[in-house]
Amino acid sequence: MDSLSSSPTTASPQRCLFVTLGCAKNEVDTDRMRSLLIDAGYGVADDVDSADVVLINTCSFLASATSESIDTTLDLADEVSAGVRKKPIVMCGCVPSRYGDDLDEQLPEVAAFVKADEEDGIVAVVDSVLGNAGREARADLTGTLRTIEGTSAFVKISEGCDRFCAFCAIPYIRGRYKSREEQEILDEVSSLMEGGVREIVLIGQDTGIWGSDFSDGRNLAYLLRRVAEVVRPYDGWVRVLYLQPEGMTDELVSVIRDVPEVLPYIDIPIQHCCERVLKSMGRSGSEEQLRQLFARLRSEIPGMVLRTTGLVGFPGETEEEFEALLDFFKEQEFDYMSVFPYSREDGTKGATMEGQVPEDVKMDRAQRLLDVAEELGFSATAKHVGERVKVIIDGVDDSDDGVELIGHTWFQAPDCDGAVHIESGEATVGDVVTVDLVDSFCYELVGEIVDGE
């Protein structure tokens, strides 16, 4: 490779190409690594040709995600080999965390593997694969390091998970649950708001139990109040995702209802409603308990928006139990729903259970549930037509048909739900504008900027 001994702190720094697969948590991890490398003097490449090293942050939540990660890595290997000079590939994240001990022989195309809990050492790894020995290591990695330039930013408040649901490999990939320290979170939020971010989205594997591993009683409701205090001077929004049913305490409900900065957007992935299936999954609850929970939330937080997740085809699920889930979705009229067919994941309890549902049956059930989800979701979106809302401008689409502003409002989580399309008016990315919603299509809304607002 050319210039292996050149220092990345020269006028022409060596550049890193970042490829991220998977969920928002991986996006946050990539941003952390990118920030560390920029802080160490490396540059960022836009494509393989201009890169000196390629970093791929992988997902291994499902077997399909693992396959995508491997296929993308091999495609990148072909691409870098076809260039004038060979560039090393560094595989990061979930795949190395899950299969690290077996990857050296299986993927000789990869120069180095970095597990999720080792990503703060990414500078030393890149130094090594590029031959930049002798770099002085950064002593303090606790400060805020982000490169977010968009209007919304995901902020992780925890790592790992203690639930060990029978269908999920996350505890084996990410380890046991650990709350992130309060001050770290607040410092990051403050830095992001100062940098122009308008919305903070708090994420984790199980956000509702933040603080449960502390000894002083701090909890998610407390953290939301503290984050709200930070974003308040900026007229910012706070959204929280991935709440489990057991986490919806009276205190948390009151914060979502009463603290203006905290959006009344509640994301509770129930997976199923039948008590027998939930118990088999290693989860708690029943159809009646879930019904009571959602009735309480709707009563105590008027006008809230509700997102959930359904998992079909878990081992032993009968047609009657699937039909019950279908009916429950219809009854509850969720605003947004994600639907997944069960994936048999190595190392999980579900993988060895009897009663594995045939693949064609799983896919049929998933499609039937998705059809209901879309029907309800499209209807829920249309009900917002006629409302006047605040919209954060996320982008500007300048095409032959004219300029269109694209943004999202409080009931649309970034990268999850639909958007608001504004075909006329003047605004720039990061502006918050008042909009009348005049039409809808699928999950998308059409709006008009209110003059003088």
Q: Each residue's pLDDT tens digit in the chain (453 positions)?
A: 333 333 444 457 899 999 999 888 888 899 889 989 988 889 999 899 899 999 999 998 888 889 999 999 999 988 888 776 778 999 999 999 988 777 888 899 999 999 988 888 999 999 999 988 766 555 454 555 677 778 999 999 999 999 899 999 888 888 899 999 999 999 999 999 998 999 999 999 899 999 999 999 999 999 999 999 999 999 999 999 999 999 899 999 999 999 999 999 999 999 999 999 999 999 999 999 999 999 999 999 999 999 999 999 999 999 999 999 999 999 999 999 999 999 999 889 999 999 999 999 999 999 999 999 999 999 999 999 999 999 999 998 877 677 899 999 999 999 889 999 998 778 888 999 999 999 999 999 999 999 866
Q: Domain spanning 15-129 has what CATH number? A: 3.40.50.12160
pLDDT at 452: 66
Which residue ranges make up each domain of the chain?
15-129, 152-382, 388-449
Locus of tokens 């989580």 = 413
CA distance 266 to 206: 13
- Per-residue b/e over 34-60, b at no fewer than 16 CB within 10 Å? bbbbeebebeebeebeebbbbbbbbbb
Is position 442 annotated in a ligand binding site?
Answer: no
Structure tokens at 26: 């991986």
Nearest to 25 by CA among 180, 219, 245, 212: 180
- Cα dihedral sign for 134, 94, 307, 177? negative
Fold agreement (15-129, 152-382): no
Q: Domain spanning 388-449 has what CATH number? A: 2.40.50.140
What are the beta bridge partners of residue 90? 55, 112
- Per-residue b/e over 190-229, b at no fewer than 16 CB within 10 Å? bbbbeeebbbbbbbbbbbbbbbbeeeeeebbbbbbbebbe
Dihedral over alpha carbons 45, 399, 336, 330 (to 10 degrees): -140
Is position 161 annotated in a ligand binding site?
Answer: yes
Give 76's contacts (C-beta < 8 A, 6+ positions apart): 19, 48, 54, 56, 89
CATH 3.80.30.20 fits 152-382, yes or no: yes
Is position 92 annotated in a ligand binding site?
Answer: no
User: Is the entire prediction scored with pTM above 0.95?
Assistant: no
CA distance 22 to 35: 19
Amino acid of residue 241: L
CA distance 123 to 148: 19
Is position 416 annotated in a ligand binding site?
Answer: no
pLDDT at 140: 52
Structure tokens at 340: 């997944």
pLDDT at 1: 34
pLDDT at 7: 42
Helical ranges in 217-358 per DSSP H = 220-231, 250-258, 275-281, 287-300, 319-332
Dihedral over alpha carbons 154, 156, 161, 166 (to 10 degrees): 10
Is position 165 annotated in a ligand binding site?
Answer: yes
pLDDT at 5: 36
